[in-house]
Chains A and B, each alone.
Chain A
Amino acid sequence: MSETSPADSAVIARSRQEPEVFAEIFRRHAPEIKRFVIRRLGLDVAEDVVAETFLAAFRQRGRYDLARHNALPWLYGIATNLIGRHKRTEARQLNLLARTGVDPVTEPFTSRSDERLSAQAVRQRLAAALAALPAGHRDVLLLVTWGGLSYTEAAEALGIRVGTVRSRVNRARAKIHEELGGTDPTAVVIGEVRHG
Chain B
Amino acid sequence: MDELAQLNNFRSEVPVQEDLRAEAERLMAGMSAPVRSDFRRLGLRAASAGGLAAALGVAVFVVQSQPAPAPPPPLIRTVAAVEVLSRAAEHAGSRPELHPRPGQFLVYQSQSMYTAQSEGQIWLTRHKRTIWLPAEGSAVKGVLQEETLAPLPYPGHTLPPNARAEQALVGKPGRPDRAADFDDRAEFLRTDYAYVSKLPTDTEGMRRHLYTQLPFDGLQNYEAWNRVGGLLDESYLPAAQRAALFRAAATIPGVVTVKESQDAAGRKGIAAAMVSPLGVREEYIFDRKTYDYLGRRGVVVDAKLANAPVGSVVSSSALLKVSVADSAPIVE
Instruction: Give the interface of A toward B (CB within 8 A).
Output: 4, 6-7, 9-10, 13-14, 17-20, 22-23, 26, 30-32, 34-35, 38-39, 47, 50-51, 54-55, 58-60, 62-63, 65-67, 103, 105-106, 109-110, 114, 119, 122-123, 126-127, 141, 145-146, 173, 176-177, 180, 184-186
Contact = CB atoms under 8 A, between A and B. Distances in A.
A22 B31 contact: yes
B30 interface: yes
A13 B60 contact: yes
Interface string B1-33: 111101111110111111010111011101100
Nearest to A108: B14
Nearest to B40: A17
B10 A126 contact: yes
Contacts of B53: 18
B61 to A, nearest CB: 4
Interface of B: 1-4, 6-11, 13-18, 20, 22-24, 26-28, 30-31, 40, 43-45, 47-48, 53, 56-57, 60-61, 64, 67, 69, 182, 184-187, 189, 213-215, 217
Contact of B11 (A17, A20, A105, A176): A105
B22 A141 contact: no
A141 B7 contact: yes
A152 B55 CA distance: 36
Contacts, number: 133
B14 A39 contact: yes
12 contacts: A13-B60, A14-B56, A17-B47, A30-B20, A35-B15, A38-B14, A50-B23, A109-B15, A126-B7, A146-B8, A180-B6, A186-B1
Going nearest first, the 6 A-B pairs with the smallest beta carbon separation are: A34-B17, A51-B26, A62-B186, A17-B44, A63-B186, A66-B215
